[in-house]
């Protein structure tokens, strides 16, 4: 039921935004792309009480469908629009969008809004940049203005923004893949609470790069969630993040070090002044002005001495048995029309695979070739469409999904122990991989999908990944027959919850409420989120945080407390006492429930962008991050195209008027109680 609500919610969000009248921004965008001739007719008629000429609407529908593929008739257009979830059914439009017919204005407004959301983002200036390559450990400098631990979405966002502001940046990644939860963990079905998130900041830039890569190939990249959200192949996404980093480096200093982590933090009194970094048994000291933790687990926070939250504990009273969100070790799978390579067929049951395991998967996934989100268990077509990806090995319009990743019924329970104890983390990581191996066996054998297996072209079988698998096989020789499959699983697990700093302000679910109340528009907003509250495996009162998460805040279903824009203030990124240090991933100051809404890839990328601004201003003005003027942060973010106002403003995105109207909204913003 939870996934069905995702689909319905996506429709509801857009419909709500367009329920009275298509926004001026939507109309201008559609006119610019020649989907409509002029906004005037639609401005007057596509309203709550208006009526639109059926013939004009038919022309509109055909042009919107043409965003996906050329169409020659209304029937063909309707087929495309239903498949792409612009329309839920063709029936109404077959009767009304005809010569002499009349269409209800509010229905047309929804089409206009959805059509505008599907317009391709223009290729950004960074599209032609040379991808940033890693710098060897020996060639790293002894001093950088900003050191960032973790090259996931938050770390990349912080690095790109800080480097563009002219400060020197060192970006560290302990694996050999950048991209974190999005690319290295292969969760490339972008979790957009609403498509408006595509207008914001660095996520808008990434969407533009994805569009610029796939559209010339004739490949539709709106594949995720049954052709409703942005998707990208992990190897493509990783290269595009390298392009963003390469563009940000320009003629300045932005170094990327792979297979390197922060092993020690140096401080003077309460201020971080540098780090020891380690790689392959080697260690060296690097001085910094600002250290940023953008790791997937929040692993640098304890090294700084900053107080933090983990699960529903504080760092001075940790209970390793408390819940954190379930995690998932994903695997990219694809269809092999000519047959799966022999080494990628699971010919024997993996260790631990029993009839009980088979029966458990049967409760969530069965055979079937037609998408049907209303019926449980899901069938195969619904399952692969959920996390659908573009597929460069099948260069068509991707109307039929041939590449996806396994991230639906293979969650694995997790506890505080996995965050705090490396041995417990390793054991759970391996258990997650085994569960995904079980799922693949179920797919190939019980479902009979012998033409599907792990993708052999993503490049996950790197030296780092092979070493990790070989170390496991050395302890578990019974896994040796499955090595060729395991080395092609994703580089790291999909980590949904990390340690979280105790900051100057802790974001609470009551402040991002979007149904029974309104989200707080903080005066010092520096980032927006969109997603509903979604805690995998721990959405119950005993695992929430007293005085932060209330029982009345618990959604009775996915999206029960709403989706759509909410604000995140400057103070959530400032530790209560430690200076020279900032968080830039899932580790900002927030409650567990709030984390369930901020943890998604588009949001962490843009939160990282905000942290990059704070860090760069601190360096340039020779002050601590807590002393940075939030208004300066806001202006720089707005000039970079990052939306900060929860409600739309009456000006075109990126214009001077747009920036000024948003500043007016922020100046009037309400403070949290």
What's residue 228's pLDDT?
80
Dihedral angle at the C-alpha atoms of 319, 323, 324, 329, nearest 10 degrees?
120
Residue 29: which pLDDT band, with cuts at 50, 70 and 90? confident
Q: Is residue 110 part of a domain?
A: yes
Mean pLDDT score of the chain: 92
CB 3 within 8 A of CB 103: no
What's residue 398's pLDDT?
64
Residue 196: which pLDDT band, with cuts at 50, 70 and 90? low
Q: How many CB atoms lie within 10 A of CB 90?
A: 17
Q: Is residue 172 part of a domain?
A: no
Lowest mean pLDDT among 117-121, 336-340, 354-358, 361-365: 117-121
Is residue 261 over pLDDT 50?
Answer: yes
Q: What is the mean pLDDT of residues 514-541?
A: 93
Beta-carbon contacts of residue 258 (< 8 Å; ≥ 6 apart): 134, 173, 175, 176, 178
Is residue 118 over pLDDT 80?
Answer: no
Residue 100, CB-side half-sphere exposure with 13 Å CA sphere: 0
Q: Is residue 456 part of a domain?
A: yes
Q: Is residue 530 part of a domain?
A: no
Highest mean pLDDT among 80-94, 218-232, 588-602: 588-602
At 611-642, the pLDDT tens digits run 999 999 999 999 999 999 999 999 999 999 99
Measured between alpha carbons, how far is 156 from 180 in angstroms, rounded to an integer?
9
| C-alpha dist (Å) from residue 90 to 53, 117, 228, 363 | 17, 20, 17, 32
What's residue 23's pLDDT?
67
Q: How many CB atoms lie within 10 A of CB 671?
A: 11
Measured between alpha carbons, how far is 528 from 95 in angstroms, rounded to an integer?
41
Q: Which of 22, 28, 35 is nearest to 64 (CA)?
A: 35
Q: Is residue 352 part of a domain?
A: yes
| C-alpha dist (Å) from residue 248 to 13, 167, 377 | 34, 11, 46
Q: How many CB atoms lie within 10 A of CB 40?
A: 11
| C-alpha dist (Å) from residue 396 to 123, 239, 292, 353, 574 | 21, 22, 42, 37, 47
Q: Which of 151, 234, 229, 227 is nearest to 190 (CA)?
A: 229
Lowest mean pLDDT among 365-374, 403-412, 558-567: 558-567
Range of the domain at 477: 325-486
Q: Any idea what DSSP says for residue 443?
A: I
Q: What is the mean pLDDT of residues 638-656?
A: 90
What's residue 672's pLDDT?
42
Residue 218: which pLDDT band, with cuts at 50, 70 and 90? confident
At 58-70, the pLDDT tens digits run 999 999 998 877 8
At 287-315, the pLDDT tens digits run 999 999 999 999 999 999 999 999 999 99
Burial readout 280-298 (b: 16 or more C-beta within 10 A, e: otherwise): eeeeeebebbbbbbbbbbb
- Which of 486, 520, 541 is where one domain is finished? 486
- Burial of 172 (C-beta count, 10 Å sphere; 0-12/13-18/19+): buried
Residue 197: which pLDDT band, with cuts at 50, 70 and 90? low
Q: Is the dihedral of CA 182, 604, 634, 21 positive or negative?
A: positive
At 461-470, the pLDDT tens digits run 999 999 999 9
What's residue 442's pLDDT?
98
- Which of 451, 466, 486 is where one domain is finished? 486
Pairing of strands 102-104, 51-53: antiparallel
Beta-carbon contacts of residue 289 (< 8 Å; ≥ 6 apart): 145, 146, 580, 618, 619
Residue 19: which pLDDT band, with cuts at 50, 70 and 90? very low
Beta-carbon contacts of residue 138 (< 8 Å; ≥ 6 apart): none
Q: What is the mean pLDDT of residues 519-524?
A: 97
Residue 13: which pLDDT band, with cuts at 50, 70 and 90? very low
**pLDDT more than 90, % of the chain:** 80
Helices (H), 22-98: 24-32, 39-45, 54-65, 74-83, 91-96
What's residue 434's pLDDT?
98
| C-alpha dist (Å) from residue 416 to 27, 315, 317, 469 | 49, 11, 12, 24
Helices (H), 621-655: 630-639
- Which of 461, 486, 511 is where one domain is finished? 486
Is residue 9 over pLDDT 60?
Answer: no
CB 642 within 8 A of CB 667: no
Total count of domains within the chain: 2
What's residue 127's pLDDT?
95
Q: Which of 487, 410, 405, 478 is nearest to 442 (CA)?
A: 410
43 preceded by a cis bond (ω within 30 of 0): no
At 136-182, the pLDDT tens digits run 999 999 999 999 999 999 999 999 999 999 999 999 999 999 999 99
For every residue of 576-612, DSSP letters joined together read SS-BSEEE-STTSSB-HHHHHHH-SHHHHHHHHHHHH
Provide the whole-model pTM: 0.91
Q: Which of 639, 625, 543 is nearest to 591 (CA)?
A: 543
Q: What is the mean pLDDT of residues 232-261?
A: 97
Q: Is residue 105 part of a domain?
A: yes
């Amino acid at each position: 039921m939870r996934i069905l609500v995702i689909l319905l919610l996506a429709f509801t969000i857009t419909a709500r935004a367009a329920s009275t009248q298509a926004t001026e921004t939507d109309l201008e965008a559609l006119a610019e792309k020649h989907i409509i001739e002029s906004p005037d007719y639609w401005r007057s008629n596509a309203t709550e009480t208006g009526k639109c000429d059926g013939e004009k609407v038919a022309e509109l529908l055909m042009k919107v469908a043409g965003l996906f593929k050329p169409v020659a008739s209304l029937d063909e257009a309707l087929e495309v629009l239903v498949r792409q979830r612009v329309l839920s059914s063709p029936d109404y439009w077959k009767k009304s969008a005809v010569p002499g017919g009349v269409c209800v204005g509010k229905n047309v407004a929804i089409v206009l809004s959805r059509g505008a959301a599907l317009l391709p983002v223009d290729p950004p200036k960074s599209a032609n940049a040379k991808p940033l390559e890693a710098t060897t450990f020996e060639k790293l400098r002894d001093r950088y203005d900003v050191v960032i631990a973790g090259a996931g979405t938050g770390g990349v966002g912080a690095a790109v923004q800080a480097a563009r502001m002219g400060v020197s940046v060192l970006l560290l990644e302990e694996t050999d893949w950048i991209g974190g939860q999005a690319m290295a963990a292969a969760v490339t079905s972008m979790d957009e609470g609403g498509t408006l998130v595509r207008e914001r900041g660095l996520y808008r830039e990434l969407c533009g790069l994805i569009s610029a890569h796939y559209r010339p190939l004739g490949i539709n990249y709106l594949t995720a969630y049954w052709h409703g959200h942005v998707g990208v192949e992990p190897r493509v996404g990783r290269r595009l993040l390298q392009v963003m980093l390469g563009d940000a480096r320009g003629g300045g200093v932005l170094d990327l070090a792979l297979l390197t982590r922060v092993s020690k933090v140096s401080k003077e009194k309460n201020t971080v002044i540098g780090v020891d970094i380690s790689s392959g048994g080697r260690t060296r000291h690097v001085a910094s002005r600002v250290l940023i933790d953008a790791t997937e687990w929040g692993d640098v926070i304890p090294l700084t001495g900053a107080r933090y939250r983990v699960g529903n504990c504080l760092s001075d009273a940790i209970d390793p048995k408390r819940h954190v969100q379930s995690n998932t070790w994903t695997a990219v799978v694809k269809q092999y029309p000519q047959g799966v390579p022999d080494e990628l067929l699971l010919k024997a049951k993996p260790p631990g695979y029993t009839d009980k395991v088979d029966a458990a998967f049967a409760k969530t996934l069965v055979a079937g070739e037609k998408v049907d989100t209303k019926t449980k268990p899901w069938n195969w077509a619904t399952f692969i469409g959920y996390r659908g990806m573009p597929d460069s090995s099948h260069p068509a319009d991707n109307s039929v999904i041939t590449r996806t990743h396994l991230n639906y019924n293979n969650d694995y329970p997790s506890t505080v122990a996995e965050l705090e104890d490396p041995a417990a983390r390793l054991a759970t990581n391996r258990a997650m991989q085994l569960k995904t191996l079980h799922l693949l066996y179920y797919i190939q054998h019980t479902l009979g999908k012998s033409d599907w297996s792990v993708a052999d072209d993503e490049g996950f079988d790197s030296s780092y990944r092979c070493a990790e698998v070989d170390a496991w096989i050395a302890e578990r020789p019974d896994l040796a027959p499955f090595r060729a499959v395991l080395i092609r699983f994703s580089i790291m697990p999909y980590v949904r919850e990390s340690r979280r700093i105790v900051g100057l302000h802790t974001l609470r679910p009551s402040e991002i409420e979007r149904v029974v109340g309104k989200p707080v528009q903080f005066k010092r907003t520096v980032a927006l989120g969109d997603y509903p509250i979604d805690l995998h495996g721990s959405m119950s009162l005993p695992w929430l945080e007293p005085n932060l998460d209330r029982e009345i805040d618990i959604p009775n279903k996915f999206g029960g407390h709403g989706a759509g824009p909410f604000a995140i203030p400057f103070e959530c990124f400032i530790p209560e006492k430690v200076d020279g240090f900032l968080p830039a991933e899932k580790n900002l100051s927030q409650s567990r429930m709030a984390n369930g809404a901020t943890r998604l890839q588009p949001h962490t990328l843009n939160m990282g962008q905000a942290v990059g601004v704070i860090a760069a201003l601190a360096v340039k003005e020779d002050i601590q991050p807590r002393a940075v003027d939030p208004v300066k942060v806001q202006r720089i973010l707005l000039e970079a195209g990052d939306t900060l106002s929860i409600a739309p403003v009456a000006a075109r995105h990126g214009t001077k008027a747009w920036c000024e109207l948003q500043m007016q909204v922020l100046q009037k913003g309400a403070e949290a109680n």
